[in-house]
Structure 1
């Protein structure tokens, strides 16, 4: 058994080089981060460079690099339903008619080759189709909807007949009237999409604004008053802003629901219906809607049709609900009373690296944070009861590596794209395989390698069979604690492999339901 001195020596490897307070965090709210401010009289050719902003937006230190498995993306099976006749995928970003400013910013972001979801989705959105797209975590879904939408809007704004409305600083309050609306289920994901939009709209006429709960409304109100073309929002704060008279959706041309299955679950469905069907959002042929996620349960696919036009296209990259083979999945038998000790030993046995630890409850997150912090591990925690400032500070500390261990509840399970997250630990294993896929998808992004370790005991039997099958599907050995669930199948359940075409006994003779806006 290690002596106290040896233990301290091993823990010291984890110490952050910066010894300042771990939550000495941001001097401003994420919603106040600078965007490129287009001035009257600018043109695409004469818009000046903002060197300070450009350096912060395209800093290579925090940018995700593609990994050794990136080429595997190009080999992934792609299924598409409802594509227009003669539809062709793209193979680059330069020769497909994108706006030059978008192409320039793509190059600054080091996007060299489009991923399969981008190859298929970008031309569909450019051609004006509604899209429901399912692709693995870390496969480039954000770029798949941002790139074509921003390009189309810039081309629209370049038309002399289009009058761009932007309120000057100090103007009396008027409603923000965005042209594109991006709806996200969590504050952290909304902030991340805002940052990606800030990069892609650099030196352009498009001004993005992000609004989310938990932060000061006045700050976000000030941003809205100045006007925006791109509005990124969580559902609750969006409805609140509409009710306060701060936002009008009357001019929206594009709506995106990212992590659509989470947004449309029992908690968010009524709010989304209110936004999509009861607000001043135009419900006509001019509105294009896209939905993206790494998982799309059947019931969500059916529900999503309420918000899509009849000719919407369904795209899947790989199996719906699949995951990348770049994640080494380890499942170890650990009883509840032994988890704390097992986690400490696991952290000490691995080289220091960004590690994301998922727990079931807010109380558990706080407890583990205290335990590890008192052992001098550089850690922070995040959950729904933390103030928004604490949440933003924790994410910044984790993203920059000041606190390379993040203990989190489900608020960090979806969509977050953070460089060099090498290890995901399921301290408390979830019951749902889709939730598991999203959790482990925080590592091995953009074709990189990653490790996912899950603590399993008999309380987790509900996920046993699908987890064993997922591990086998990824070409890895099923661990001993899951052998009883191992059926030997190399493919997942047939009904989960592709999009469903209808509900038996409903709709037309072939089971296809009527899609499009069909009321409340």
Structure 2
């Protein structure tokens, strides 16, 4: 549910949410913009969204415990930031204030707090962190900034945030912004859709303004991204929110001609967003210098390592001055990511949103697991598509590119489907994503290339036609829905051949308070998923997590379908051409790996054909 802005300091009603059990109502605090919930019959208020219990009686959600580091400090007069270098490495040396006393307030000035009607009393920063499951590690960590006005950001940036519909910082932004504004290194561990992109871009704009480097000599900010889709989204956000500050940004990615990208670089640029392979190509051509990069970001670091980009990342970092600020964002915290963080970051602050020691699915997503035979998948899929409102955005995930194309052809006439996978050209991919975003092709059939990084609003449903190779990919797939506080639906087809993942899936379902089908529990009782080392040191895995799920898999699921063109097989290196994005998934199985160390409602759908065939 999206928050709305009000000019008054009192509460107002939030937009109507049909999923909210009666008589509960959503209210928005006029000062902070945060949503809370009020029962007018009992006069109860709570932060958590009420949910329906099994007997139909509304039941309040339960809070999950979180340990908040005692090292979080109350903000002093002015969040200090050193525009000329890094944080003082633990010393108490005086640094320059960014915007004087406007840059910080005491915690009582900006933390939300409610009495029985949600108005009036302040709550502590510890309560804010506990409610938002924020924990931190590091010395002298500043308190979270829970309103845009408390950040001291330039007025034009605050205005753009409000115009974009944001009423208050997300938890990852609230805690990482004050740390980044001090010039300190950060490791931020948060699920996708948490607002991490602006978590590093906005402090980057402030950094850039203070450095005043010459863009003709190279970028000041470098952002590394695992895929071209994510890279182009980051660039779009940088252009959108940096326009008033006249910040220039170029995106470098494979699968597209180098010429236009090189011409943009030659005109001078403040920010470069790049995938590792293409950036290395251009560095080898000596057409770009990273000599004045002083703000380095690794976005989705876990995904980059899993794709085999660690050697390229390390090679790139050698071109970046050691006197820099480094920010690493990741959804998981396996050994490989910990190792590279220890190597690249200095005296960093770790910011966690949620529990980093276990894989947790977004609780805003209702997960339906359906145990069925492969031959029943197509029929059940069409039932699900028809049960949704016409035009609803839906992503269907398949294990192979051939299955992806075949499903898309079967669904195009009745449902307006289009396909995206690693064999599509960049032009085709851009066109399909544009059609999906605008709703002209409301059904997107995809391989895991679209499982992470894509940030498309209003995705209502995710369908796992085939179960992925590991439970982490499952969590990231369904994470395409239920973003930015919205609710979502996820349907997953589970077959006997997926039994090895049954135990891990049950744990994820239970962790998100979801119902577990009896058939799935029966698989576990028969040994499905037993015997795997959850934190082993398996080769080719995600730093050892879920060992065995990622080793040497070649070939897809979907019985009866020809699945010879698997997107899940082969090595984890980069592709032959651009060395970028998902095409590494199509590598030959013999290629050497680059391992990280580490109910039917009637159709209602039109029969119009998609423009993409």
TM-score, normalization: structure 1? 0.74
Pairing of 1:55-454 with structure 2 (within 5 A):
75-82=131-138, 84-85=139-140, 87-157=142-212, 164-166=214-216, 177-265=218-306, 267-277=308-318, 280-283=319-322, 286-309=323-346, 311-320=347-356, 321-352=359-390, 353-373=392-412, 375-454=413-492
Change (3 A) 1:195 1:243: same
> Equivalents in 2 of 1:215, 1:440: separation in Å?
29
CA contact (8 A) 2:370 2:493 kept: yes
| Paired positions, count | 408
CA contact (8 A) 1:207 1:230 kept: yes
> Equivalents in 2 of 1:183, 1:431: separation in Å?
25
Runs of 4+ in 1 over 4 A off after TM superposition: 65-74
**Alignment partner, residue 515 of structure 2:** 477
CA contact (8 A) 1:334 1:342 kept: no
Change (3 A) 1:72 1:121: farther
> Equivalents in 1 of 2:416, 2:36: separation in Å?
29
User: Deviations along 1:314-346, whole A, 9 cap, x unmatched?
Assistant: 111111232221100010012222222221122
> Equivalents in 1 of 2:48, 2:343: separation in Å?
34
Change (3 A) 1:124 1:267: same
Pairing of 1:503-514 with structure 2 (within 5 A):
none
Q: Which has the higher helix share?
A: 1
CA contact (8 A) 1:339 1:455 kept: yes
Bigger mean CA offset, 100-109 vs 424-433: 100-109
Gaps of 5+ in 2: 1-32, 38-45, 50-127, 526-531, 536-543, 545-613
> Equivalents in 1 of 2:35, 2:365: separation in Å?
12
User: Deviations along 1:200-240, whole A, 9 cap, x unmatched?
Assistant: 10121321111111112111111111111110011111111
Gaps of 5+ in 1: 1-64, 158-162, 167-175, 488-492, 497-502, 504-520
Change (3 A) 1:165 1:142: closer
> How far 1:484 sits from its partner (Å)?
3.3
Equivalent position SS for 1:105: helix
Supply the RMSD in Å over aligned alpha carbons: 2.6
Equivalent position SS for 1:447: coil
CA contact (8 A) 1:135 1:317 kept: yes
Change (3 A) 1:66 1:248: farther
> Equivalents in 1 of 2:448, 2:508: separation in Å?
21
User: Deviations along 1:4-41, whole A, 9 cap, x unmatched?
Assistant: xxxxxxxxxxxxxxxxxxxxxxxxxxxxxxxxxxxxxx
**Alignment partner, residue 60 of structure 1:** none
Change (3 A) 1:242 1:95: same
> Equivalents in 1 of 2:47, 2:192: separation in Å?
15
> Equivalents in 2 of 1:368, 1:68: separation in Å?
42
TM-score, normalization: structure 2? 0.63
> Equivalents in 2 of 1:455, 1:291: separation in Å?
34
1 or 2 for the larger relative contact order (CA 8 Å, sep ≥6)?
A: 1
CA contact (8 A) 1:130 1:308 kept: yes
CA contact (8 A) 2:144 2:178 kept: yes
> Equivalents in 2 of 1:276, 1:72: separation in Å?
42
User: Deviations along 1:151-173, whole A, 9 cap, x unmatched?
Assistant: 2212333xxxxx5344xxxxxxx
